Amino acid sequence: MIRIQHLKKSFGELNVLDDLTLDIEPGTVTAILGPNASGKSTLLKCILGLVNPDAGRILIDDEPIAGRSHYRAKIGYMPQIARFPDNLTVDELFAMLRDLREDAIDVDIELFARYEIGAMGKKRLGTLSGGTRQKILAAVALLFAPKILILDEPTVGLDPVSATVFKDKVRKERTNGRTIILSSHLVNEVEEMADRIVYLQDGKPFFVGTMEEIKRMTSEGHLDRALVRIMENAREATHGTRR
């Protein structure tokens, strides 16, 4: 369970997160949506401890995370951009991450096996293609069977087959009672994976609800149309303009 309470963060004049309060339940996939600069990645980075909030707090399993590092043993993170030290081999990268998580008991090598990463163990990371690096990132995020998964646009760099493998894996993990947070611009990705949608606008949740609720509320049958409707409503609500 992740509780986010009155979170505020500004970069200079720009209020990226503006008194954001949100609970993220275990056993669900929560998709964070919103236009560019709505605070999606800042929110994810606050949960990871990469960004220090100006005010408010985040509790993971009822413990505040501020200034701590150990709670990250519960988290698997898949960033958007995959760049590794060029001269390390694939095997060494996995050995390094395992060394940094000496407490990890469970190891989940399903993605590692399905992406056939073992076969390229001796290759240097600098010689791999962007898609292969993305697969490695995905396998790394899931490697320690984390209770919490944070995925930042996970399938953008993956080929269709690998993307399907990944989505199946995420859905399977959800039924294992994990908390999964996903940030994405791809509607079909969200539709396939997410149970709950959090639509951010100007650093606040404008809409929080299940997939059915969003469709019912907007009386649109398809998620993409429902999202466009939400986006228009959000824009009107903040800027007061009608088309």
Site string for another protein, 128-147 (x = CB under 8 A): ---------x--x-------
150-209: contacts with another protein (CB under 8 A): 150
Least Å from the CB of residue 49 to another protein: 7
Token pair 């290759």 in the structure block, residue: 123
Sign of CA dihedral 218, 16, 62, 141: positive
Least Å from the CB of residue 85 to another protein: 4
Least Å from the CB of residue 181 to another protein: 13
- Residue 100 found at the interface with another protein (CB under 8 A): yes
Backbone angles phi, psi at 61, to 5 degrees: 50, 50
Query: Is the CB of 94 or the CB of 199 nearer to another protein?
Result: 94
Determine contact, residues 58/66, Cβ cutoff 8 Å. yes
Least Å from the CB of residue 183 to another protein: 14
Stretch that binds another protein, among 29-37, 95-103, 159-167, 175-183 (CB under 8 A): 95-103
35-94: contacts with another protein (CB under 8 A): 45, 48-52, 69-73, 75, 77, 79, 81-88, 92
Q: Residue 211: how many CB atoms within 10 A of its CB?
A: 16
Least Å from the CB of residue 143 to another protein: 11
Among 6, 11, 21, 130, binds another protein (CB under 8 A): 11
State the residues that interact with another protein by CB under 8 A: 11, 45, 48-52, 69-73, 75, 77, 79, 81-88, 92, 96-97, 99-101, 103, 137, 140, 150
